[in-house]
Structure 1
Amino acid sequence: MASSRDRQRKLARAKLDRQLARRASAAKRRRQIRAGVGTALILVLVIAGSAWALGAFDHEPDENTAANEVCLWTPQNTAGNSNLKDVGEPATTGLPITGTRPMTIATNQGAPISVELNLASAPCAAASIAHLASQSFYDNTKCHEIMAEGAVRCGDPSGTGLGGPAYSFHDENMPNAPEASPSASPAPDEPPTYPKGTVAMIANPPGANGSQFVIFFKDHTTAEPKFPIIGRVTEGLDVVEKIGALPTVDNGSGEKVKPKDDDVVIQSLTVGEPVLDPASPADPTPSSAASGAPEASTNAS
């Protein structure tokens, strides 16, 4: 019969064997895990390398366009206003938002008028005009009003001041009101709210812009700016001044704003491709942008 000491030795030996077996099994599992992780990492690297070689990570960001929605086009009720013309709506994404865009207005009054549209401060107005121009919306339409503010009003095919496309959009780049002097008049050294050559939108009702715009043929200062600035004339300002000097007659509503003898006709209006690095700012005066989409109405301009 084995002694008590021999039994203790056998039990201790068996315990040691079990511990060694567990340690060997754990070490084997660790080696298998490392091998699996290494294989997976190699596989990921191979896939990533293949994708890189095939150009999956190649991307040239276009800083001149916005992928997110930039503009909101509010539908107008064409059934309630026969002066509105449905030519679809511009895009809402991928619109140029930096630099300038050239616009050329050919009239029956002389050389073409060249305009720089400011994409940074008025991207929606520029997008709208470009869309309408692509649909020949402005061709063979009249500049129906010579305004008391010193601007020529154009862009309404109906010639009523109530016409435009079947959508509207919010104000952009509304200039700040000038600082008043002690006499309640603008300070003498204050720049005009709308310098000569300024191009701006005009809406009826205010804030619901469509197709109508004004071109200032003289400086205009006002305590209540209402025309959001979209650009400036770069060539042909003498033609705008010539139009502004035409005699006017009553337009049928009691205002002597209609050109008397000669209709001012836009023969064509075209918008070119965006220019990323303009030689000079398109915004003729410091201004602040106003936003907020207008409610749909029966009138648009």
Structure 2
Amino acid sequence: MATNQQRREAAKRKLERQLVRRAERAKRRKIVGAGVVGGVVLIVAGVVVWVVNSGGSGDDTAAASPPPSSSSSAPPVPTLTNIPTQRTAMPKRPQPVANPTSCTYAADAQSPAGSKKPAVPEGKNVSSTGTVNATFKSTAGDIPVTLDRALAPCTVQAIKSLIEQGFYTNTICHRLGVTDLQILQCGDPNAKGNVETDGQGGPGFTLPDEYFAGEKYGRGILAMANTSQPNSGGSQFFMVYGTAELPATYTIFGSISDDGLKVLDQIAKTGIGTVGQDGATGEPKNPVKFTAVTVAA
């Protein structure tokens, strides 16, 4: 049987072995920890090098990249989509307008007429029956149209008056759409072919709204432009040669002839030059100017 002295010595040796094993384990942990830290440092350093060399991501990319040129910052020019061949049916009023009717043309200081200062149309005893045939002679070809008094007597009265006063002669069509909004917009007396400033002018007076529920805009439709405010139409109008998914808030006042649509198709195929702020429409690539506008006797 072991003596007390022997037991104490055995316990001491056991404790020493435990301390040695603990020290060895601690040493291994330090080695492993140092390796992990070193690996992390290497990984981080590698990522930093990669970020610096590749330009990074997010906001840093914009800062590290060279500034975009004026051409790259401009919106891409839309390309022409398919033009429908089917005409859109002309709308019919659910209730006819009284004949004759009265029209109010309010003064408009927000849409200046520039050097063109037309007289305000006569607003009393305006006919709401019959049609008016007119031809917009342009540098792209003649665009015959038919104005329908039954649809919009006050609008037809105003447009006819402006034509007879020579208001539209030597004005340009400043806005062309070739994708979801296939239109040619004209009638700004101050348009100069500058996509940033065109589209602000008018005749110096406004027209009353004459749209009604159920109106559809599509190939062959002639309608008034406005500022999205009530009774804000003036001299600007748009000719629809294709698709135009729009709310029924633009007065339809006539139709475009087959020959006129052929001219519009050709204008659309020539395409857009400079794109406007909406990124979808812009100045026609080949300027379209009205050289004369006539009303049939």
TM-score bucket (shorter structure) = 0.5 to 0.7
Alpha-carbon deviation of 1:244? Answer: 2.1
SS in 1 for 2:242: coil
Q: Kindly report the root-mean-square deviation, in angstroms, between the aligned alpha carbons of the 2 structures.
A: 2.6
Sequence identity of aligned pairs in percent? 28
Alpha-carbon deviation of 1:94? Answer: 3.1
AA in 2 matched with 1:195:
G
Equivalent in 239, 242, 257 of residue 215 of structure 1: 239
CA distance in structure 1 between the partners assigned to 2:106 and 2:186 by the alignment: 21
How many residue pairs match? The answer is 191
Q: Paired residue for 1:195?
A: 218
Q: Paired residue for 2:187?
A: 155
The answer to whether 1:87 aligns with 2:127 is no
Q: Paired residue for 2:292?
A: 268
Asked whether the 8 Å contact 1:66–1:94 carries over to 2, the reply is no
Q: Paired residue for 1:138?
A: 168
1:144-194 alpha-carbon deviations (Å, 9 max, x no partner): 0013511100111112111111100111134527xxxxxxxxxxxxxxx21
Asked whether the 8 Å contact 2:221–2:256 carries over to 1, the reply is yes
AA in 2 matched with 1:243:
I
CA distance in structure 2 between the partners assigned to 1:211 and 1:153 by the alignment: 11
TM-score if structure 1 supplies the norm length? 0.57
CA distance in structure 1 between the partners assigned to 2:296 and 2:134 by the alignment: 6
Alpha-carbon deviation of 1:258? Answer: 2.9
CA distance in structure 1 between the partners assigned to 2:277 and 2:243 by the alignment: 26
Q: Paired residue for 2:17?
A: none
Unpaired segments ≥5 residues, structure 2: 1-96, 192-197
Which has the larger helix fraction? 2
Equivalent in 99, 122, 129 of residue 152 of structure 2: 122
Asked whether the 8 Å contact 2:274–2:285 carries over to 1, the reply is no
Which has more radius of gyration?
2
CA distance in structure 1 between the partners assigned to 2:243 and 2:278 by the alignment: 25
Alpha-carbon deviation of 1:257? Answer: 2.8
1:65-85 alpha-carbon deviations (Å, 9 max, x no partner): 98865100011126x847584
CA distance in structure 2 between the partners assigned to 1:194 and 1:256 by the alignment: 18
Alpha-carbon deviation of 1:259? Answer: 3.5
Unpaired segments ≥5 residues, structure 1: 1-64, 178-192, 274-301
Asked whether the 8 Å contact 1:250–1:256 carries over to 2, the reply is no
Alpha-carbon deviation of 1:101? Answer: 0.7
AA in 1 matched with 2:290:
I
AA in 2 matched with 1:128:
A
Higher relative contact order, chain-length normalized (CA < 8 Å, sep 6+): 1
Asked whether the 8 Å contact 1:83–1:162 carries over to 2, the reply is no
1:93-149 alpha-carbon deviations (Å, 9 max, x no partner): 232210111011111112x11111111111111111111111111001111001351
SS in 2 for 1:95: coil
